[in-house]
Amino acid sequence: MEKRKVIFSGMQPSGSLTLGNYLGALKNWVSLQSEYDSYYCVVDMHAITVPKEPKDLRRNTLEVLANYIAAGLDPEQVTLFIQSHVPAHAELAWILNCFSYYGELSRMTQFKDKSKKQDSNAITAGLFTYPVLMAADILLYQADLVPVGEDQRQHLEITRDIAQRFNNRFSETFTVPEAYISKDVAKIMSLQDPNSKMSKSDSNENAYILLMDKPDVIRRKFKRSVTDSVGVVNYTDEQPGIKNLINIYSKITNKQPEEIAGEYQGKGYAELKEDVAEVVIEELKPIQEKIDYLLKNKDYLEKIYIEGAQKAEIAAQKTLRKVKRKVGFISR
């Protein structure tokens, strides 16, 4: 039998997941799970690159795992695990740090954005080398494909550069992975500023919809979403707020954006906002019920992440052993 291609991806437990995480990434993961050998990780080590309360980190880590399962990832089919449970990630990250350059890391837009938001004395070395840990995550599993949102494209590029550099310096060691970014709507934007992405770390909670938000909260946030003064529903870059609402609608219903815009000719923005809120509420309802159930059944979650780490460990060690031998470490 031909070997199945490998997928690796992960999300940070930096808060509860948003509609952006779900529509931009998680929904794709679910549709890919039966065709690939898949690893989906909760990247808690990435989450501590910015200040994080320990009790929040613990809660969010389990929440993200519950979100993965509730959104439809099947633990029987895919490997679900927590990054810090597999020490090979930290070990490979160190080695790859020694094959990554200050210059290329300085050019990462996510680093530039995140470090701008902090006092320069609070920018950690961890935040700077974040993409190297991400490269280690991916390369350990010899992943062919990495399904992520558009914002991670640059991190995938540096992962490929690091892999190729290592392969050239020694010999073929890592599979050079490809980013898998859904073509239709790769980015869900903030409801308060349609020119920046919807993010759970936004200081304004009206900017994002959380997967766990209650129906009345979802209605309120859409109602307050920022649009424009054109007054006509069009699917165009000139009206980014409306475009984002249509994108959300389209992602959930699988209707074409232009078709949706057509249906709202002669109607006001309020109606579009109300309808988008209702489709989102319907889509999230079964997911929310499952999340509640899972978070009340911590033993089940524990069983999933323990088994997941055991499976991941085997694949990760295979690569790590090879890497250590190539760089010249003595095995014991």
Number of H helices, E strands in the chain: 15, 5
DSSP3 helix / strand / coil % (the chain, rounded to 5): 55, 10, 35
Q: Which of 241, 233, 235, 249 is nearest to 282 (CA)?
A: 249
Reply yes or no on whether 200 is catalytic: yes
The region of 117-125, 172-180, 192-200, 247-255 touching ligand AMP under the rule CB under 6 A is 192-200
Catalytic position from the list 27, 197, 221, 243? 197
- Paired with 278 in beta bridges are none
Q: Which is nearer to ligand AMP, 25 or 277 (CB)?
A: 25
Strand duo 37-42 + 79-82: pairing: parallel
The region of 19-27, 77-85, 159-167, 262-270 touching ligand AMP under the rule CB under 6 A is 19-27
State which of residues 16, 60, 84, 152 lies at the interface with ligand TRP (CB under 6 A).
152
Scanning the structure block, which residue is given the tokens 């006509």?
232
Question: In angstroms, rounded to a whole number, what is the distance separating the alpha carbons of residues 157 and 160?
Answer: 5
Q: Which is nearer to ligand AMP, 156 or 301 (CB)?
A: 156
187's contact among ligand TRP, ligand AMP, none, with CB below 5 to 8 A by partner kind, is: ligand AMP
> Within positions 32 to 51, which residues make up the interface with ligand AMP, using CB under 6 A?
none
Q: Which is nearer to ligand AMP, 149 or 177 (CB)?
A: 149
Q: Which of 175, 191, 97, 100 is nearest to 139 (CA)?
A: 175
Q: At what angle do helices 88-97 and 298-327 cross, to 10 degrees?
A: 40
Reply yes or no on whether 114 is catalytic: yes
What one-letter code names the amino acid at 109?
A: T
- For 26, list phi and psi in degrees, rounded to 5: -55, -40
Site string for ligand AMP, 49-88 (x = CB under 6 A): ----------------------------------------
Question: In angstroms, rounded to a whole number, what is the distance separating the alpha carbons of residues 210 and 200?
Answer: 8
Reply yes or no on whether 55 is catalytic: no
Catalytic position from the list 5, 52, 114, 187? 114
Collapse the DSSP code of 267 into the 3-class scheme (helix H, G, I; strand E, B; otherwise coil) and give the result. Answer: coil
Q: Is 11 in the site for ligand AMP (CB under 6 A)?
A: yes
- Paired with 79 in beta bridges are 39
Specify whether the CB–CB gap between 73 and 80 falls below 8 A: yes
Token duo for residue 169 = 């310096």
Collapse the DSSP code of 112 into the 3-class scheme (helix H, G, I; strand E, B; otherwise coil) and give the result. Answer: helix
Scanning the structure block, which residue is given the tokens 């009345």?
216
Q: Which is nearer to ligand TRP, 37 or 137 (CB)?
A: 137
Q: Which is nearer to ligand AMP, 46 or 273 (CB)?
A: 46
Scanning the structure block, which residue is given the tokens 């954005």?
113
Site string for ligand TRP, 37-76 (x = CB under 6 A): ------x--x------------------------------
Collapse the DSSP code of 8 into the 3-class scheme (helix H, G, I; strand E, B; otherwise coil) and give the result. Answer: strand
Q: Is 114 in the site for ligand AMP (CB under 6 A)?
A: no
Q: Is 244 in the site for ligand AMP (CB under 6 A)?
A: no
State which of residues 7, 25, 252, 304 lies at the interface with ligand AMP (CB under 6 A).
25
Catalytic position from the list 27, 200, 221, 243? 200
State which of residues 75, 131, 149, 240 lies at the interface with ligand AMP (CB under 6 A).
149
The region of 193-201, 220-228, 267-275, 319-327 touching ligand AMP under the rule CB under 6 A is 193-201
* Contact positions vs ligand AMP (CB under 6 A): 11-12, 20-21, 24-25, 148-149, 151-152, 187-188, 197-199
- List the catalytic residues: 114, 197, 200
* Contact positions vs ligand TRP (CB under 6 A): 8-12, 43, 46, 134, 137-138, 146, 148, 152, 155
